[in-house]
Structure 1
Amino acid sequence: MANPEIMDKVVSLCKRRGFIFQSSEIYGGLNSCWDYGPLGVELKRNVKEAWWRSVVYERDNVYGQDASILMHPEVWRASGHVEGFSDPLVDCKKCKRRFREDHLADKSKCPECGGELTESRQFNLMFKTFMGPIEDTASVVYMRPETAQGIFVNFLNVVNTMRAKLPFGIAQIGKAFRNEITPGNFTFRTREFEQMEIEFFVKPGTDDEWLEFWKNERFNWYLRYGMTKERLRLRQHDKDELAHYAKDCYDVEYEFPFGWSELEGIANRTDFDLTQHQTFSKKNLTYFEEESKSRFIPYVIEPSAGADRSTLAFLVDSYCEEEERVVLRLHPKLAPIKAAIFPLMRKDGHPEKAQEIERMLRPHFNVEYDETASIGKRYRRQDEIGTPYCVTVDNETMENDTVTVRERDSMEQVRIPMSGLLPMLLERLNAEKKPA
C-alpha cells in the first residue's frame, strides 16, 4: 500500500547518514540528479557486485564487457532511437509546467493548477552533445539512452574472442542518460542512471523457454538478497504495451511507498537488434552453428535492471521502525559496513585493543571504528545504517581476550575469543540468508 510518509523518512535518513545527497546542493541543487555519499556508494557497489556475481561468476556462459558511453551516431539510427525514442509532451499555458501527456488522467487540464494545456508534441529523450572542436551537425553524438546497443555491436567480437557458443550472454553495468520530462520519486526516475543488463543470445525456437528461465532467475535474485516476497511481483506486459521489437516481456515490480513500479524488465527482443545492425552496418552478424551447419541471427532475451532502482528498493524494504530504534535490515552482503568496533571506554587500553581488532578485520571487509557517545547510541547509529555486527571491547577483553559480538536484527549478544572473531564474522557474512 502506498505510504509517502515512509518515503520521506528514507530520503531523510539517506541525507542524514551519508547515503545519497542532492547533486550540486550548495548551488541550490540540480533537478533529479543525485550524488551517492560514503555509505550510499558502498551499498550501490554491493548491489552491483551481487548482480555481477550471480549473472557472470556463477554461470559459465555469460561474459562481461564495458562499452563506451559515446557511440557512432548510426548505432542510434539502427536501433530506432533517433526516430522513435520520444514521449508526448504538453505544457500548461498558465503555470508553464511540463507533463507527459500519457501520464495525465485529464488530457485537457493541468493537474497542478487546472490551466489549459498546449497541443501534444513529441520530445526525443536522448541527450545530444558534440565530438570535436566544431559544434555542427557533422559532429553530433548522443549520450547513450541504454547500455544494450553497446552489447549488440560487440556481438561478433565476443563470439570470436571467447569462442562463445549459443546459448550465451553478455553482461554490462553502465551509465545511461534520458532527458525525462517528468523525473521524480527520489532516485527512482532520473536523467542519469545506471543499468545492469544482460543480452542473452539463443537459437530461435528456444526463446520462450529461455524467457521463462530468466524471468524466474531474476525474480529470485531479489529474494536471495532479502527483499520481502509480498512486495515483489512479476507482471506480464499486455500486447498493446509491448515495445515494437518485443515478442513478450515481464516486469519485476516492487511495491514502493509511492506504489507498484518496475525494478527490472525481462524481454524477448527476438532478432530485431542484430538484424537492424546488420542492415545498417552492412556487416554479417549471423551465427554459424556447427551441429546443424547453418547460419542464422540469434534471438535475444534481455533482463535489464536498474542499479539505482534496485538500491532504492533494498533501502526501502530494509527500513524498519521499532520502539526504540530505526534499523536497516539489509542483507549482510549488501550492507555498506559489515562490522563496527567499539571500545567501551576511552581509557584502560580499550581504544588500543579495539583498534587492533579493526586492523585485523579491515583487510577482509569494510569496518568502522567508533569511540564517541554512549555504547547504546553507538549501537543505534549502526542499526540505522544497516551494520550487521558490532564488536565491543570491555574490561573482560583486557583480562582474557574475549569480545562481545552483537547482531543487528535480533540484538542478541555473544561472547567469543578474539581469535575466533574473524572466522565467525566471515562465516556469517558469507551466508546466503540474513541473520535470524
Structure 2
Amino acid sequence: MTNQRSAAPARLALKGDLLDFTAAPQWARVDDPAVRLRPDHWLLIEHGRIVGAQADDPGDGWAREDHAGRLILPGFVDTHVHSPQLDVIASYGAELLDWLETYTFPAEGRYADPEVARVGAGRFLDALLAHGTTSAVVYPTVHKVSADALFDAAAERGMRLITGKVLMDRHAPDGLRDDVVQAERDCLDLIARHHGRERLAYAVTVRFAPTSTPEQLAMAGALCRADASLYMQTHVAENRGEVEWVAKLFPDARSYLDVYDRVGLLHPRAVLAHGIWLDDTDRRVLARTGAHLAHCPSSNLFLGSGLFDWPGALAAGVRVSAASDVGGGTSLSTQRTLADGYKVQSLNGQRMTAWSGLHAATLGAAQALGLERELGHFGAATLADVCVWDWAVGPVAEGRMALTRDAHERAFAWMTLSDERNLVASYVAGALRYRRP
C-alpha cells in the first residue's frame, strides 16, 4: 500500500459513480428515495470542501481524476475500534472476558512505552485509511501517552478522530490501572490540549463498568456534565457473562445500562458498543438520552457474544452505527463488517439491505456523532473525506457484477464481495492520504 501526505489541490474534480444518502433508508426497502446514486458524475472539491456535483466536465480549471466505472463513497466512519488491538486481531479460542485477560491486556500494556504508542498510532491510522475509513471513534489504552500519540498522528493526517485515555481502576493487571485523582488530572490535561484542535475531539473513555469503581464512574459523569461538547465511549451488554458480572458488582442498578445512566454518562454524544443484551426499558433510555449504539457484528460473531436486534433498536428510536471493533472484530474493512451484519440479521429472521448498512457507516454514523455538517455525505460545504473504489476485483466479483439488475443488487454484491483490495484512493479533506500501488 502507498500512504500519501500530499496537500489538497485548490480545485479537485473526481469522476465516478457517486453514492451517498440524503436521509435514513427504511429497513428492508431496496428502492429507497434516501439513496442518492449519480453515475458518471464529477464531484467538485475546492480547498478541501465539497462544492457540488455535475454530469458535465468541469473544465481545465480543475485538477481532474477520471474514475469512470468506479464507485465513489464518503469515507467510512468506524464508531468503535481499539488501536492497540491490531496486535491481537485473529486470536484463537476465547469469549469476551477470557479474551481480555489472555490477549488484550498484555497487548495494551506495551503502550506505556511512548515509542510503541507513537509507532502503533501511525500504523493504526494508516491501516484505517488503507481500508477506506477516514474518521473513527477509537480506544487507545489507559496510558495518557497512548492518547497523546493518537491525537498527534490524526492531526498530522487531517483526520476526524474522537478518542481519550481509557479509565480503568480495578479488575485489570498491574500497569493497566489508574486511580480516580490521577485519571481526572490526565483527562483534563488531554482535553485542554486536544479537544477542538483541528478535527480532534475528546471522549471520556470508560473501558466498561466492571473495570471502573463507582467513584471513577462518578468522576467520568462529572466530566461529561461539565462540558457538553465532550463525547463518551464505553461498552454495554456485549456478553451474557459480562452482564451477570455487572449485576453482581452493581446490585442497586436496574440494568447494565442503568449503571451508566445514574452517573450521567448517557447523553447525545455517548457511543455505546454492542448493546446486544438490552431490554425494552434500556432501549427507551437510549432513545430518551440520545446515546447511540455502535453495532459490531464481526466481533459479536467471532467472540460468540450474541445477535444484535438492529430493527428492534430502530423501532425504539435508538440510533445505530456500524463499527469494526478490531481486535475483537476480524477486519478493519467496513464491507466485511457489513457483510457480517447481514448474516447477524439473517439469523434473527431479518434482512438488512445494502442501503441500511452503508448508511450506518456514513451519514448515519455522522449524524449519531453530531458531525453531519462535516462529513458522511456529499452535501455542499462538507469536508471532502472521500474514497474511490473498484466495483469488482477478480473474476468472481466481476462475473457477479455483470449480472446485477438494479442499483441495490449492485450495491449489495459490492458490499458482500469487496474489501480493502477494491480501494483505489482515500482523500481526507480533499488531500490524498492513500493510493493503491
TM-score normalised per structure 2: 0.25
**Bigger share in helix:** 2
Between 1 and 2, higher relative CO (CA 8 Å, sep ≥ 6) is seen in 2
Q: Please tell me whether Structure 1 or Structure 2 has the larger radius of gyration of its CA atoms.
A: 1
